[in-house]
A and B are shown apart, each in its own frame.
Chain A
Amino acid sequence: MTSSSLSISKSIRELSLRLVHKAKASHIGSALSIADLLAVMISDADILNLSNPDDPNRDRLLLSKGHACVALYSALCIKGFFDVHELMSYGEDFSPFMNHASHYVPGVEISTGALGHALSIGCGKAIAARSRKENWHIYTILSDGEMQEGSNWEALMFAAHHSLKNLTIIIDCNNLQSLTTVEETLSLSPLDDKLVSFGWAVTTVNGHCHDSLRETLLEAKKSDSPHAIIMNTIKGKGISFMEGKVEWHYKSPTNADLEKAISEIYGQ
């Protein structure tokens, strides 16, 4: 399983890089920090039951940090929901593969881009599943900077109050936001204590360790309360010259950058 997810994570990284390079788009750093998470999720149906985007019993995966959409599009392409040729229309005029997550793409549940939206929608979906006594699970991937949005804290209170145990959030703590570090911008610390005090089960995990991710995600799915995974990551993970650099929230790789990045992914 792990070797499969490792291979998938490399493909997600490569595709994401190729997409932002071709489209001269931003946010590659944010996509790279969730590549391992998505690889682990899509490689194990016990974690994410998503074989068919139209299956009413599928698990729902919501990408609240919609700017990292290239990683999600790449993962869904690897799942076979559309082919690479379609995916490569990313960023072209009038393509459904817009530069923030788009619900016009098969497998993308909701469009996002403005931060602080998907968790509330996830709460609504969780209520819907429960009211119909259906067993699918809802995952919402948020960014750490996004936790500064007040709407998320409304939803956190709500989910705990209503014991939405079919809801898991994964907070991608890459510690960099738009201008500088999260700590310097508006500190979330102590995030784990805050979430616990809001009534959530909380697990902290290394977001680049596939075994730990897998174990944590499976545990979260079985949790008897809403579960928050604080996922410590490195923005730009896997590409030495992008790691931990705020400029890769914006820059798109040059031809030379792309070549070097892809050779790093495959250890050449």
Chain B
Amino acid sequence: MRSAFIKWLVNKSQADKRIHLLTGDLGYSVVESFQSVFPDRFINVGVAEQNMTGIAAGLTSEKLLAYTYSIGIFPTFRCAEQIRNDIDYHNLPVVTCTVGSGVAYGSLGYSHHAIQDISLMRALPNMVIATPCDPAQVIDILEWHYNNPCPMYLRLHKSGEGSLRRENCSLGLGLIQQIYPTPGDFSHSFSRDICVLVVGFTAEKVSIIVNNHAPHIPIFSVPLWGCSAKNNFIDELNEFKTIITVEDHVLEGGFGAYVMESLATARLNKTVIPITLESDVVGKVAKEEILLAPLFRQLQQTLLSLVQG
């Protein structure tokens, strides 16, 4: 995903001199391709995320475009007030781009686990939360933002994500994108009662699990959402009675909680089953697949119980 991000940025910057990339001294082997071509528009601010975020606000307040880049927690929690007051309140189109969603940097410890970042960012009224499921969606999201400037939190995984085929690919704020069944798959009759909504890179693994255990349940990715999108989002879900949500984030303030809030606000009586990182993940240090295993087990058990139901 990070390669898709930087490739898009380099391409776009050829024609658009407004684009600036800021990093808080991170992005080794990623940002160099931008830096080498646009040295005047690449700013390594040093290990100083508060300043980086304020500078990005200053640049965009003068009609330039700014993308900040760092590992999950650093350009969000460390500078939460700058994001809240300087970017979001002034409605400035800064893209806060993070790598290492969830427990992608599992072995690096809790300081590097971005497992509460969504809860922070989605509370901001103008902030659009962007949770791509694969590298192609990263590019679609960046194009969308380029044409619809706004404060945006772009939550990337890392690298090595597979590509998912998507049907009905129109991308917009609060719109869902079908990732399973894949186009032309007529092997099952698909449920209109139950669906899975997934944010972020776990979509690929979620597809495999659903295909294995409940192949009649459709899966949707939710690439762009946030405070201002709750209504359009609800319209998209109207037909489903049971919604399973999956995210590499804790329950509190996460995507599943967003779905529950949206439904409750709209007075819609649906069952939401949030599949999230469990709270005891805090402080656990291990490879990502180990830390994510309980999440996928939880999904599998949920699907089996619904199928056997």
Contacts and interface: CB of A to CB of B under 8 A. Distances in A.
A158 B89 contact: no
B75 to A, nearest CB: 13
A247 interface: no
Interface SS majority for chain B: helix
B242 interface: no
B61 interface: yes
B57 interface: yes
A114 B51 contact: no
A86 interface: no
A121 B48 CA distance: 14
B94 to A, nearest CB: 10
B41 A121 contact: no
B62 A128 contact: yes
A98 B92 CA distance: 21
A32 B53 CA distance: 31
Contacts of B62: 124-125, 128-129
Contacts of A120: 50-51, 53-55, 57-58, 82, 86
A72 B46 CA distance: 33
Contacts of A111: 85, 89-90
Contacts of A155: 51, 54
Interface residues of B, number: 28
A204 interface: no
Interface SS majority for chain A: helix
B59 interface: yes
Contacts of A151: 50-51, 54, 82
Given A111-B85, A125-B61, A151-B54, 16 more contacts: A110-B86, A114-B85, A120-B51, A120-B54, A120-B82, A121-B57, A123-B51, A123-B55, A124-B55, A124-B58, A124-B66, A125-B62, A126-B58, A127-B59, A128-B58, A158-B51
Interface of B: 20, 40-41, 43, 45-46, 48, 50-51, 53-64, 66, 81-82, 85-86, 89-90
Interface of A: 103, 109-114, 116-129, 131, 150-151, 154-155, 157-158, 161
